Amino acid sequence: MAKLSNHEVAIVMVPLPAQGHLNQLLHLTRLISAYHLPLHFAGTTVHLRQAKTRVQGWDPLSKSNVKFDEFPIPNYETPPPNPNSTTKFPSQLMPSFHATCHLRHPISSLLQELARNYKRVIVIYDSLIAWVLQDAPSIPNVECYSFRSISAFAIHTWDKNSITPEFSEYSRVQKEYREIVNSGDLFNSCYEIEGLYLDLQAKEKSASHKQWAIGPLNPVKLCDKKNSRKSHKCIDWLDKQEPNSVIFVSFGTTTSLSDEEIKELAIGLEKSEQKFIWVLREADKGDIFNGESRKVELPEGYEERVEKRGLIVRDWAPQLEILGHVSTGGFISHCGWNSCMESISMGVPIVAWPMHSDQPRNAILVTEVLKIGVVLKDWAKRDELVSSIEVEKCVKRLMDSKEGDEIRQRAMVLSKSVVDGGGSSKEMDSFIAHITR
């Protein structure tokens, strides 16, 4: 990577205020900071705090060339998640998405100020927050690049039944603004994972449209925990387990399980007789720092019964470190793209339980295309309860069978090709060369 000393170009990152989106753009900021360009990470005060509080694998405050531009916006209702909703889509986050319209003017002012001081200002914005950049085309030296936070496979094979009408309309509006401001697309992906679908995405665009597959964005080699901050209790627990003996259970930040679903999952994990770490949290509200969250109840006496081989984590857990630990041999996941990319880069196979949005398509990519996972919840049966028997069977299939060992081996081979292939770093060099031309 060539060191760029001239500060003729400044970069502004504009994330969507949801954890999976904040996290990916913050990781991208880390990668771009290595090119020594002035960087701005712009968003609402509360969501920038959220991004910095939860980041894993590095310290965002240690990077001197990243400036966090925090903008207060008017208060808005942040309803709690509904674990008993007929759909798993996180409708409680929609007020946060709509409230981003208030970022238009402060971000426009930031771009105008930077445009006076730099030859070129590059904006990398989440594809679902394009409307805050509607003034950008009026500033001659500003270029905007859309960050696609989901897989090319999911974009190419989208299932409209995985979202709500409200979000569908919100997405349509963002697409209209995207078509006005966009100079190219960035993907948190790489050709080793979904080259065919990245090529198909490129073919659907005009010849002048550019795209770069620059993933995985998450750190693929984690820093030595002895030299970092105090390790989380689950890492200490994993240190005492055998290699590939633990299945990690986490459904991301947007999913609320009903009491009935939790009970069946709990019984299934217990009956599987496999070791597990289960992150049992309520889904995020629009403001994670405000108000109490529902405390999810487990069957009476459950934690005492499983304490020798199961660890229940009710707070924020370091997912990247858990997946990167030698004792972790599987991952029961909602198949959010962040989780998929982290799991793939760490060589951990997935038990797929998709919930909404791009997750059903990602589950197909993982289980049918890449063949590095097994299906627990079939999307075609999304309205049916997953039984404890299905959980038990699926966990044993991955963690205690010859087939499971073969799937794990494929996951490790894919991880090596992704981490060692170097394709994404070449793509990043290409993108930086383009914006600093």
Q: Which residues are catalytic?
A: 21, 126
Is-contact 270 306, C-beta < 8 A? yes
Q: Beta-strand (E) ranges in 95-229?
A: 120-126, 142-148, 182-187, 210-213
Q: Please tell me the distance from the alpha carbon of residue 375 to that of residue 394, in angstroms, as a whole number.
A: 8
> How many C-beta atoms lie closer than 10 Å to residue 51's C-beta?
21
Quote the tokens at residue 81: 């998640």
Burial of 159 (0-12, 13-18, 19+ CB in 10 A): middle
285 sits in the region (left: phi over 0; alpha: psi -120 to 50; else beta) called beta
Which residue carries 């105008």 as its tokens?
Answer: 112
Q: Please tell me the distance from the alpha carbon of residue 199 to that of residue 240, in angstroms, as a whole number.
A: 44
Closest alpha carbon to 345 in 337, 357, 354, 353: 337
Please give the backbone phi and psi of residue 44, each rounded to the nearest 5 degrees, phi first: -70, 150
Please name the residues in contact with 313: beta carbons below 8 A apart, sequence gap of 6 or more. Answer: 233, 234, 277, 278, 279, 280, 281
Q: Please tell me the distance from the alpha carbon of residue 194 to that of residue 382, in angstroms, as a whole number.
A: 26
The amino acid that residue 79 corresponds to is: P
Is-contact 329 254, C-beta < 8 A? no
3-state secondary structure of 432: helix
Q: Beta-strand (E) ranges in 188-307?
A: 210-213, 246-250, 275-279
Please name the residues in contact with 175: beta carbons below 8 A apart, sequence gap of 6 or more. Answer: 130
Using only the alpha carbons of the chain, give its radius of gyration: 21
Quote the tokens at residue 306: 């499983």
Q: Please tell me the distance from the alpha carbon of residue 376 to that of residue 235, in angstroms, as a whole number.
A: 26
Report how far Cα 181 is from the mean position of its chain's Cα atoms.
24
3-state secondary structure of 386: coil
Q: Please tell me the distance from the alpha carbon of residue 303 to that of residue 423, in angstroms, as a whole number.
A: 45
